[in-house]
């Protein structure tokens, strides 16, 4: 038993199963019971409220904007996925066969989602006090880092704040192409906010490519603010399609 999940393990079997059941399972098995999407929705709202209160008390001199950015950094997908990994939630997820074969247990979105669902389940089964305790303990690393050091001004965090302020939508990163024989430019990653194309970039690993794509998008926010919002693009997709064609031609060579 993971000690961080003690309160979760005392919930009813039905509630625990619902929190751990990915939508792919119920999509493949109509008699598989409810999935965790409703609990995920509830947990997302609870996380925002709990972390807001923690920061309000811990950072009395922080402005509203500072608190908003700090909260966003703590409850972002990567942070929640890291907490889920510490709790070993990925190994307990119940997937459909397709998502399982596609590597769903290690996907940031799935890990962050199951963490939110567990928060929602604890609230439904044990109430707010137990939920606050679980959130504080599970996100202790992220909370202490932000309270002590503030939000790092890295491109991905900056882009997240810009997208949420402009469109109320978080950026998402997709691997467009991968070239095994080019170590410095192995991954080609695209970043989007909803259906809006933002930027693409190369990197020796996915994290570096994502950081560079976020940096390009942030720069485009600054340089092309007025014209970009009219058509929903930050950077020209035509330019990036040329880059991708060049990249893929090198990969085939």
Where are the chain's structural domains?
3-149, 155-252
Cα Rg, the chain, nearest whole Å: 20
Q: Please tell me the pTM assigned to this model.
A: 0.64
What top-level class would CATH report for the domain 3-149? mainly alpha
223 catalytic per annotation = no
Q: Enter the tokens of residue 198.
A: 């933002």
Marked catalytic residue, from 18, 40, 44, 190: 44
116 catalytic per annotation = yes
Q: Which residues, other chains included, contact 47 with Cβ-Cβ below 8 Å and sequence gap of 6+?
A: 75, 80, 116, 119, 135
Closest by CA position to 173, among listed 206, 215, 220, 219: 206
Marked catalytic residue, from 116, 190, 215, 235: 116
Domain 155-252, CATH: 3.30.160.20
pLDDT tops 80 at residue 227:
no
Give the model's pLDDT for residue 182. Answer: 62
Q: Where residue 214 falls among pLDDT bands split at 50, 70, 90?
A: very high
Q: Do 85 and 107 contact (CB within 8 A), yes or no? A: no
Closest by CA position to 83, among listed 177, 188, 4, 192: 4
Over residues 161-165, mean pLDDT: 84
Give the model's pLDDT for residue 223. Answer: 66
């Amino acid at each position: 038993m993971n000690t961080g999940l003690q309160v979760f393990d005392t919930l009813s079997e039905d509630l625990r199963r619902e929190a751990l059941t990915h939508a792919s399972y119920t999509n493949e098995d109509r008699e598989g019971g409810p999935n965790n999407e409703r609990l995920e929705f509830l947990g997302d709202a609870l996380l925002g409220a709990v972390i807001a209160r923690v920061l309000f008390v811990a950072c009395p001199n922080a402005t509203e904007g500072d608190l908003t950015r700090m909260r966003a950094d703590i409850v972002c997908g990567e942070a929640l996925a890291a907490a889920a990994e510490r709790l070993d939630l990925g190994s307990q997820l119940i997937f459909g066969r397709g998502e399982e074969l596609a590597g769903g247990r290690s996907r940031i979105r799935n890990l962050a989602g199951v963490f939110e669902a567990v928060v929602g389940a604890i609230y439904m089964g044990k109430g707010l006090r137990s939920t606050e305790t679980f959130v504080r303990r599970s996100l202790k690393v992220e909370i202490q880092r932000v309270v002590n050091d503030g939000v790092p001004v890295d491109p991905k965090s900056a882009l997240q704040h810009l997208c949420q302020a402009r469109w109320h939508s978080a950026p998402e990163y997709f691997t467009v192409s991968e070239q095994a024989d080019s170590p410095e430019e192995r991954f080609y990653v695209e970043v989007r906010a909803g259906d809006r194309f933002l930027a693409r970039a190369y990197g020796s690993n996915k994290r570096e490519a994502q950081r560079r794509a976020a940096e390009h998008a942030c720069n485009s926010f600054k340089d092309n603010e007025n014209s970009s919002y009219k058509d929903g693009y930050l950077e020209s997709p035509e330019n990036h399609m040329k880059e991708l064609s060049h990249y893929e031609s090198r990969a085939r060579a």
